[in-house]
Structure 1
């Protein structure tokens, strides 16, 4: 399965995106026009995080993914809320991709 959860690949993507090594991606740290992830990378990451494959990521799914890949758990709730643009308590693919391409 091409988009199966791959902690090694996810961790590598995280390290590449977290340029300063602080464990989070502060807003505004990337040069204008330079995306942290491409749309394709963000969409693929969405597929790996969406554990039940319902087309939405819950806070629980996001937390489990970050924990499994060794990411910073302190930022999970904040990033989830910023991504959930419509306030539905779930992040759909468009919201996820838009957030990760911008930040």
Structure 2
């Protein structure tokens, strides 16, 4: 019958799904190319509140209503990948980081 081959195939499928999950954890969910084309933003010379060396990554800022969104990209496997989005109320952002943005 077909039950026996399925019973033998099930562990292989489980291992394949587990390995696929591991690969998904290391894959870039959203790369910079898609972001650059689809999200209106401002390039920042440095990430607000973070010491991030240029070779490690960079940040971009977008305004959405009364919120400031800070997108953090890290260089993973040679390509910039979105790793974090910080959301601030605009007034909170200005109170925390200031209205002027001094270049490093």
Query: Which gives a bigger RCO, structure 1 or 2 (Cα 8 Å, sep 6+)?
Result: 1
Specify the structure having the higher radius of gyration (Cα).
Answer: 2
TM-score (norm 2): 0.25
Larger strand fraction of residues: 2
